Amino acid sequence: MKREYINCEICGTKVKNTSHNNRQKYCKNCAKKVIKEKDKQRRSVNSEKIKREMRIWRSQNKDKTKDYDRKYYRKNFEKLIEKSRAYYQSHKEKCKLQHEEWRQKNLEKSKRKNREYSKKHTVENKAHYSKAHNNKYFNGNRLKALKKDNNICQICKSKKSLIVHHRDEDNNIENRNNNLDNLVTLCRSCHFTIHHLSGILRKINKIKKISYEEIIEKHIYLRRT
């Protein structure tokens, strides 16, 4: 006689009997766990044989393997990234050596991949570069300086190819004065000529005597003439 209900041998819950020959022993959740454990045992015993069979099957069914890999990657995207990051942190030197060896062997392929990536992610790369440049050289005050000067060059009043310039012209990046009083908005041509004038004045040792406003006035006079 077929029993209508059975008790799971692992968790003890009462479950409806779905088998025809009264062979059901577990509920659905416990049955999945038992099947996984059996698969692990089978793979540990016959691991080389299973790998060989999988390679043969993948080589014969390339389209199916690609579809399966895509679906698996989409479902387990976050887990795979975490695993790859953990592996990279524990094997940094090994990964760097492998990457360098691959690049040396496949220079043209690596260049092509870099070009394709840059074409796809141009907007993201520009945003990342501008953010990094702002934080490194201006301590996050570049956009504030442009807004303060209304996005206009303070010498020729042009709105194209604007650059934020440091008044003191300190080349030390770590201890640079990035206050808004020390930042001025200039166009590319005015920025070049001001650096040229200040370099000449440093050679003559008159940069301390002549103020920054006088340098700008001289540059305006040269542009008008």
Tens digit of each residue's pLDDT (9 = 90 or more) over 129-174: 777 777 777 788 888 888 888 888 887 788 888 888 887 776 666 6
pLDDT over 60 (residue 125) = yes
Residues 186 and 216 in one domain: yes
Say if 132 falls within a structural domain.
no
Confidence band, pLDDT 50/70/90 cuts, at residue 201: low
Say if 49 falls within a structural domain.
no
Average pLDDT score, the chain: 78
- Count how many domains the chain has: 3
Q: What is the pLDDT of residue 197?
A: 73
Say if 135 falls within a structural domain.
no
Q: What is the pLDDT of residue 170?
A: 67
The average pLDDT across 85-109 equals 89
Say if 52 falls within a structural domain.
no
Q: Please state whether the predicted TM-score (pTM) of the whole model is above 0.75.
A: no
The average pLDDT across 195-204 equals 66
Tens of pLDDT, residue by residue over 63-76, are: 889 898 889 988 99
Say if 106 falls within a structural domain.
yes
Say if 63 falls within a structural domain.
no
Say if 64 falls within a structural domain.
no
Can you give the residue range of the structural domain that contains 33? 1-39
Three-state SS sequence of the chain: CCCCEEECCCCCCEEECCCCCCCCCCCHHHHHHHHHHHHHHHHHHCHHHHHHHHHHHHHHCHHHHHHHHHHHHHHCHHHHHHHHHHHHHHCHHHHHHHHHHHHHHCHHHHHHHHHHHHHHCHHHHHHHHHHHHHHHHCCCCHHHHHHHCCCCCCCCCCCCCEEEEECCCCCCCCCCCCCHHHEEEEEHHHHHHHHHHHHHHHHHCCCCCCCHHHHHHHHHHHHHC
